[in-house]
Amino acid sequence: MLKADNIKKKFTKLIKKKEKVEFYANNGISLEAHDGEIVGILGPNGAGKTTLLRIIAGILEPTSGMVTFDDLNYHDNETEIKKNIAYLSGNTKIYNTLSSYELLHMCADIYGVLKTDIEPRIMEIAKILDMESFLYNRIGSLSTGQTQRVNIARCLIHNPKYYILDEATSGLDIISSQIILNFIKGEKKKGKTILYSTHYMEEAENICDRVLMINKGVVIASGTPGEIKKSTETTNLRDAFFKLIEGDNHEE
């Protein structure tokens, strides 16, 4: 089980290049994700989704609060935890000068996949994601959709238990988005735990078991899509979100 407990993350920003102002990108966020569950993190741009997922993925350290994976925390078991995680964001870039094969081989090595298992594992994933035709081409020469498939393959190579996906479909065309969504559904069926952040409310409604709506660094609602719609007396998550933040964003 993945558990984030009262996560706070403070940043400092410069206003007009002079005045330093502190602000909380996350201000006391807690969540749980159980095995075989897709938990959606929903919110507009700047709500604190990326910061939260970076903290959960171990890229950033929280100012306070703790993240645990099966009761292991980053302070004592960072590499052990990271071996069981796959992180993919809409901004995730991969090495253009390497071929897909070289990248997957490197990732498998880094994640400690057995030497004898690496080659068959790469071939198996290449077949599943239909990458065989460009497996040995340099990533820099691939199309956006092909690159995204390589990114998914990178996440699959070590058969992780947890997926942390941050705006993974952002900016992608309909076909590339569908590849990602199919991948998420497929991994859920295998019992994997998936954290999925997006600002596409309809997308989240379709694939998430539970959602966490955040705005300005705090949780404004959580539960199944049905529960949130019911509590806000709306018919979809988009309307629910607007109802929840009604009046709150006018000051900006």
Partner 1 sequence: MKSNLWNILKKELREMFRDKKSLAMMLVIPIFIPLIVIGMSAVFEGTMNMPITDYNTIGFDYELNNVEESIAQELQINPVYDTESRLEEKFLSGEIDLYVTKEGVVYTMHGSDTDTTQYASGLVESYFDAYKAYLQKDYLANHNVDADEVLDIIVLESDIGTEENFFVSYIISYAFLFIIMAITVSATYPATDTTAGEKERGTLETLLTFPIKSRDIIVGKFLSVTVASIITGLISLVLAVISLKVANGMFSIYEGVNLMLSPAALLYAVVVILAYSFLISGICIAIASKSASFKEAQSALTPLIFVSLFPGLIAFMVGITTNNVTACIPFLNYSIIFSDIAGGYVNGLHILLMLVSTILIIAVVLRVIIKQYKSEKVLFG
Q: Does 147 bind partner 1 (CB under 8 A)?
A: no
Q: Does 92 bind partner 1 (CB under 8 A)?
A: yes
Q: Does 13 bind partner 1 (CB under 8 A)?
A: no
> Stretches 32-40, 85-93, 126-134, 214-222: which one binds partner 1 (CB under 8 A)?
85-93
CA separation, residue 61 to residues 25, 73, 78, 129 (Å): 13, 12, 11, 34
Nearer to partner 1, 115 or 190 (CB): 115
Residues 23-62, mask of contacts with partner 1 (x by CB under 8 A) = ----------------------------------xxxxx-
End-to-end CA, the chain: 37
Give CA torsion, residues 80, 164, 179, 227, to 10 deg: 140
Q: Does 4 bind partner 1 (CB under 8 A)?
A: no
**What's the rounded Cα separation, in Å, for the pair 170 and 49?**
13
**What's the rounded Cα separation, in Å, for the pair 213 and 172?**
23
Count interface residues toward partner 1 (CB under 8 A).
Answer: 31
Q: Does 116 bind partner 1 (CB under 8 A)?
A: no
Residue 58: CA atoms inside 13 Å, Cβ hemisphere, count?
21
CB 47 within 8 A of CB 215: yes
Two tokens, residue 69: 């994976």
| Residues between 159 and 218 with contacts to partner 1, criterion CB under 8 A | none
Which residues of this chain interact with partner 1, rule CB under 8 A? 57-61, 78-83, 85-87, 89, 91-98, 102, 106-107, 109-112, 154
